């Protein structure tokens, strides 16, 4: 960046304001996308993709329906009110809208301590909830205030509207919020090193290594538990990352921190991403370098229990088989979310495993005996990859996260976690209920390293 003069940076910002696409800016000035992000962050204090303020066209999402399964997929990001995608990495407003409607009522107080561009705060205002909107980045707070600078038409909104309390703060230290005073937490933390949200801001969790990040998120979990009312919910969106073509299960690690803080897991939702390209360059790269594009995030909904509850895993019998691809299909899957029709579900799973990984052992189910037998399997079976297929279960109204449990309990130096695949069977009968219907499974793929 030292080669870019102040005048050149200002010219780049000017072109950005004029609406010149990022790709064209890169070509014209010979800079990378990362460099452009840094110029914008340096100039504005936040990492934003669009600079101009959005004009409001309508106030509510069209044809909105609440979600009632554990897989949420929003092909359109959502652009009602002041919502847009200019704050890099912010979540779709469909997520906080669903969470707020399901787990709070009008007049309740919603807390977002990673408010970013204000998506949660805007939704809280639109839905008649009070909101405390916090971010460690003062420029993000300024952007949030701008996005909240609107007056709702009284003819459309008959209920009481509350202006959110917006302030600079630190999610690791919520000392100005009393114990058990919050009705709902709804937040999208940074994932630690995946997207940079500031340049040199002290306390920015997006700047930390994974170990440092997890240590700080432990403090966030403990403060969340303290400020929530008993029986109230805490929903966060968290994703995995990849290092040297192997998945790093940040999501499961963060979920574990909240469980250790005292929470129970009410729901574990899979949020499907739609920005993963599966054709052309990325398709070829996925096949050639043998990795899947990460197309899933986790949306755990935690509950602060009103009384002491112990939820223990219920193990299931497991079976082991060598994969025979059998039926052939046109293309392999290139993302970490595999959605197949129920009539072809098993055949497509086997085809993808065999075509991508060669000699594969497929294990259906997991229990303590499998952990004990892994050494024996490694000694007696010839295979390149081990795939374990499990599904989350519900007990006493709470989720037992079997995918997380397997990843935590496969402790073998000869096996390295390659992929976490989300499986969804299309065509299943969906029955709306108070609890979300679990429609996803996990395929945990380990590479043999000996």
Range with the lowest mean pLDDT among 170-174, 365-369, 411-415, 422-426?
A: 365-369
* Angle of CA points 335, 341, 343, to nearest 5°: 135
Bigger pLDDT: 327 vs 6: 327
* pLDDT tens track for 24-34: 888 888 888 66
CATH superfamily label, 71-303? Vaccinia Virus protein VP39 (3.40.50.150)
289 has a pLDDT exceeding 90: no
Residue 390: what are its φ and ψ, rounded to 5°?
-140, 170
187 has a pLDDT exceeding 90: yes
Range with the lowest mean pLDDT among 5-9, 191-195, 246-250?
A: 191-195
* pLDDT tens track for 393-440: 999 999 999 999 999 999 889 999 999 999 999 987 888 788 999 999
> For residue 195, what pLDDT band results from cuts at 50, 70 and 90?
low
376 has a pLDDT exceeding 70: yes
Instruction: Give the DSSP per-residue string, 370-392.
Output: HHHHHHHHHHH---SEEEEEE--
pLDDT at res. 1: 42
* Angle of CA points 369, 320, 400, to nearest 5°: 55
pLDDT at res. 431: 81
Note the pTM of the prediction, 2 decimals.
0.86
Percent of residues, the chain, with pLDDT higher than 90: 58
Which range has highest mean pLDDT (57-66, 180-189, 199-208)?
180-189
Per-position b or e across 19-45, b if 16+ CB within 10 A of its CB:
eeeeeebeeebebeeebbbbbbbeeeb
Q: Which two tokens stand for residue 269?
A: 């939702």
Beta strands at 264-272 and 296-303: parallel, antiparallel or unpaired:
antiparallel
39 has a pLDDT exceeding 50: yes
For residue 147, which of 119, 113, 124, 170 has the smallest C-alpha distance?
Answer: 119
* pLDDT tens track for 267-288: 999 999 875 554 445 556 666 6
Task: Report the run of H or E that residue 76 belongs to, with start and end.
Answer: none
Domain segments of the chain as ranges: 6-44, 71-303, 319-448
pLDDT at res. 421: 98
pLDDT at res. 88: 57
Task: Report the run of H or E that residue 151 belongs to, with start and end.
Answer: none
* pLDDT tens track for 47-106: 555 545 668 999 999 889 999 999 999 988 898 999 976 655 678 999 999 999 999 999
């Amino acid at each position: 960046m030292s080669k870019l003069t102040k005048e050149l940076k200002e010219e780049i910002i000017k072109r950005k304001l004029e609406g010149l696409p990022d790709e064209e800016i890169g070509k014209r000035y010979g800079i990378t996308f990362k460099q452009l992000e840094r110029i914008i962050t340096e100039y504005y204090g936040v990492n934003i993709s669009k600079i101009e303020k959005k004009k409001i066209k309508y106030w509510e999402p069209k044809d909105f329906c609440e979600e009632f399964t554990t897989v949420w997929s929003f092909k359109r990001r959502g652009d009602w009110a002041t919502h847009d995608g200019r704050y890099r990495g912010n979540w779709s407003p469909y997520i906080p809208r669903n969470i707020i409607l399901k787990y709070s009522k009008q007049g309740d107080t919603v807390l977002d301590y990673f408010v970013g561009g204000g998506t949660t705060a805007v939704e809280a205002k639109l839905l008649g909830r009070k909101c405390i909107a916090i971010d460690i980045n003062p420029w993000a707070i300024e952007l949030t205030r701008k996005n909240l600078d609107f007056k709702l038409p009284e003819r459309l909104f008959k209920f009481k509207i509350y202006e959110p309390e917006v302030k600079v703060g630190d999610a690791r230290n919520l000392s100005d919020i009393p114990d058990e005073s919050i009705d709902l937490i709804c937040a999208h933390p940074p994932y630690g090193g995946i997207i940079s949200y500031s340049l040199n801001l002290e306390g920015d969790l997006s700047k930390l290594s994974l170990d440092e990040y997890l240590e700080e998120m432990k403090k966030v979990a403990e403060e969340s538990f303290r400020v929530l009312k008993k029986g109230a919910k805490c929903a966060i969106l968290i994703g995995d990352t990849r290092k040297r073509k192997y998945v790093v299960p940040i999501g499961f690690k963060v979920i574990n921190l909240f469980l250790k803080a005292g929470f129970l897991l009410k729901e574990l939702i899979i949020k499907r991403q739609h920005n993963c390209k599966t054709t052309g360059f990325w398709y070829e790269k996925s096949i050639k370098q043998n990795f899947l594009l990460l197309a899933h995030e986790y949306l755990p909904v935690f509950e602060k229990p009103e009384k002491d509850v112990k939820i223990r895993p219920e193990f299931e019998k497991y079976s082991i088989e060598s994969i025979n691809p059998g039926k052939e299909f046109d293309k392999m899957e290139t993302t970490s979310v595999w959605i197949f029709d129920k009539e072809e579900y098993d055949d497509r799973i086997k085809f993808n495993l065999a075509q991508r990984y060669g000699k594969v052992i497929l294990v259906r189910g997991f229990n303590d005996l499998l952990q004990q037998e892994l050494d024996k399997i490694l000694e007696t079976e010839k295979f390149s990859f081990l795939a374990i297929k499990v599904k989350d279960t519900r007990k006493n109204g709470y989720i037992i996260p079997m995918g997380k449990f397997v990843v935590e309990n496969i402790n073998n130096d000869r096996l390295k976690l390659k992929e976490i695949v989300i499986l969804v069977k299309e065509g299943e009968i969906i029955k709306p209920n108070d609890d979300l219907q679990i429609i996803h499974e996990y395929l945990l793929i380990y590479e043999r390293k000996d």
